């Protein structure tokens, strides 16, 4: 347990020890986590990784933690937030595209057929966004995302999507960074979508966001250089694609991986199958009251193999219901 020495000055200007108090009585960095095995495990990992001379010490340069986004850092029900964005965009652009009325996946988006769209997974989602925004410059697309995030609201909670990040996970990000970790997001969602939001939502800068992507091209538009989105998938950062994305962007194996679905299985496996201090963590959505309850049978965020194998692989399964004191920050 971290302790902190309170210092006060005596009337004669001499420093004087007043009392030892546990630091978390002052400010617990994981205040939204209930005290219990899950929290203790996280703290023990960080302590082991950062204790100089300890056998599990990890040099600062190798303190890399990777986080899934949908269902891990923010909610993903009743649909990926980015799917809500895509549907809104299809509706906004539909007047210019009468052919969408009869062509999939646009027809499903216009009909609000979330089930069909969700079944197409993150791949289908990227294709939908790709099709609606091919030819846009990266700057134009970023502005569209920014405007959407400001105005769109979640159908169940009637709050901006951007308020539906998990407070315990934002604390975990901060806690790791305060201990010299670099925190990356490794998402099946679109890299250009997420980069617009990640700094403000999570304190994660664009260069530490990895995600699915479309190809882009450098060109001059009216004499000015621009990066232009092309109608071609570049990379799908999901399942076995996640370790590939990590290798491509970071070039090092992380020491901590945090996810919530079987789409994160290989990322967790890759991270935790090397020796030394490792943390594999799965958020289990078992809280129908405060968020949602789903796992093995869900179309979105299916968690099946991960639940079966977490025990033998030493992965920590976090119960949203039991381990989290709060889920979201209060409305602003």
Question: Which residues of the chain form contacts with a second copy (CB under 8 A)?
Answer: 61, 138, 191-192, 195, 205-207, 209, 213, 216-219, 224-225, 227, 234, 240-241, 243-244, 247-252, 266, 269-270, 273
User: Closer CB to a second copy, residue 64 or residue 303?
Assistant: 64
User: Closer CB to a second copy, residue 246 or residue 258?
Assistant: 246
User: Closer CB to a second copy, residue 13 or residue 251?
Assistant: 251
Residue 114's CB is within 10 A of a number of other CB atoms, namely 19
Longest CA span, the chain:
84
User: Do the beta carbons of residue 40 and residue 19 sit within 8 Å?
Assistant: no
The Cα–Cα gap between 57 and 38 comes to 21
User: Closer CB to a second copy, residue 53 or residue 225?
Assistant: 225
Helices first, then strands: H and E counts in the chain = 13, 9
Burial of 275 (0-12, 13-18, 19+ CB in 10 A): exposed
The CB-of-138 to a second copy minimum distance in angstroms stands at: 6
Tell me how many degrees the CA angle 30-34-37 measures, rounded to the nearest 5.
95
User: Closer CB to a second copy, residue 3 or residue 248?
Assistant: 248
Q: DSSP secondary-structure letter at 278?
A: -
The Cα–Cα gap between 190 and 82 comes to 8
The CB-of-221 to a second copy minimum distance in angstroms stands at: 12
User: Closer CB to a second copy, residue 30 or residue 256?
Assistant: 256
From start to end of 14-129, where are the E strands?
15-22, 64-67
User: Closer CB to a second copy, residue 121 or residue 254?
Assistant: 254
The CB-of-93 to a second copy minimum distance in angstroms stands at: 24
The CB-of-184 to a second copy minimum distance in angstroms stands at: 9
Ordered DSSP codes for 207-269: GGEEEEEEEEEEEEETTEEEEEEEEEEEE--STTHHHHHHHHHT-S--SEEEESSGGGHHHHH
Tell me how many degrees the CA angle 36-38-40 measures, rounded to the nearest 5.
65
The CB-of-195 to a second copy minimum distance in angstroms stands at: 5
The CB-of-144 to a second copy minimum distance in angstroms stands at: 16
């Amino acid at each position: 347990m971290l302790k902190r020495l309170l210092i006060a000055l005596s009337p004669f200007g001499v420093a004087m020890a007043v009392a030892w108090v546990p630091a978390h009585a002052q400010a617990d960095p994981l205040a939204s986590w209930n005290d219990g095995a899950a929290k203790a495990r996280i703290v023990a990992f960080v302590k082991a990784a950062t204790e100089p001379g300890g056998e599990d010490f990890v040099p600062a340069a190798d303190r890399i933690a990777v986080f899934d986004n949908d269902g891990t850092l923010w909610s993903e029900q009743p649909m990926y937030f980015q799917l809500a964005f895509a549907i809104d965009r299809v509706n906004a652009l539909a007047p210019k595209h009468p052919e969408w009325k009869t062509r999939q996946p646009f027809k499903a988006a216009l009909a609000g057929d979330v089930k069909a769209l969700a079944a197409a997974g993150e791949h289908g989602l990227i294709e939908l966004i790709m099709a609606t925004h091919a030819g846009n410059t990266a700057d134009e697309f970023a502005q569209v995302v920014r405007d959407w995030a400001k105005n769109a609201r979640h159908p169940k909670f009637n709050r901006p999507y951007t308020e539906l990040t998990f407070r315990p996970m934002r604390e975990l990000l901060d806690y790791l960074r305060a201990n010299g970790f670099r925190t990356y997001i490794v998402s099946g969602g679109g890299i250009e979508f997420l980069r617009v939001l990640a700094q403000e939502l999570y304190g994660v800068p664009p260069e530490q966001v990895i995600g699915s992507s479309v190809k882009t091209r450098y060109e001059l538009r009216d004499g000015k250089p621009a990066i232009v989105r092309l109608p071609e998938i570049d990379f799908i950062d999901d399942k076995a694609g996640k370790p590939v994305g990590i290798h491509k962007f970071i070039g090092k194996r992380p020491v901590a991986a945090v996810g919530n679905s079987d789409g994160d299985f290989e990322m967790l496996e890759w991270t935790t199958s090397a020796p030394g201090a490792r943390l594999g963590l799965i958020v289990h959505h078992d809280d129908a009251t405060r968020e949602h309850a789903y796992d093995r049978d869900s179309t979105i965020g299916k968690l099946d193999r991960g639940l079966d194998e977490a025990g033998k692989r030493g992965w920590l399964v976090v119960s949203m219901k039991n381990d989290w004191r709060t889920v979201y920050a209060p409305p602003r």
